[in-house]
Amino acid sequence: MKSTPSTSGPIYITKVDYQHLLELVRLERQQTGNRVVEGLERELRRAEMVESYDVLPDVVTMNSRVRLRNAANNSTLEITLVYPRHADIKASKISILAPVATAVLGCRPGDTVVWPMPKGEATYLVEAVLHQPEANGDMVS
């Protein structure tokens, strides 16, 4: 599966998130051989790392809640990016290993992201970062 944000610039990831995500990729490969981590690996390679206290308050970081707008039908979707063990679809807590979460990580409002769906691709606009832990003083990912 490929998740490719259509933004041409870099994405921003805190150093803490980056280290945790690298470890997650390593563990997933070791335990399951899961190819789903390939999209996350691609995003990590293009990421610009920043300190937690320097990340802009509108950057999508781990544990951020974000509102997305569907380009096809104008509907909205609110999700929180979480580590796999905290995923809860009913609470809209989406694992970072899911293509939608991988696609929005490090993005900012105004960015457009595209990710694969069973019948094509989904295109969404990152409309707002509703909650970002770092902006609220919680810098632990």
The model's pLDDT over 6-37, given as tens digits with 9 standing for 90+, comes to 455 678 999 999 999 999 999 888 877 666 68
HEC-encoded secondary structure of 17-74:
HHHHHHHHHHHHHHHHCCCCHHHHHHHHHHEEEECCCCCCCCCCCCCCEEEEEECCCC
Task: Identify residue 126 by its one-letter amino acid code.
Answer: V
**How much is the pTM?**
0.87
Question: How far is residue 25's CA from residue 47's CA, in Å, rounded to a whole number?
Answer: 15
For 68, counting Cβ atoms within 10 Å of its Cβ (0-12 exposed, 13-18 middle, 19+ buried), the class is buried
The model's pLDDT over 82-118, given as tens digits with 9 standing for 90+, comes to 999 999 999 999 999 998 999 999 999 999 998 877 8
In the chain, what are the domains? 4-134 (3.10.50.30)
Mean pLDDT of the chain: 88
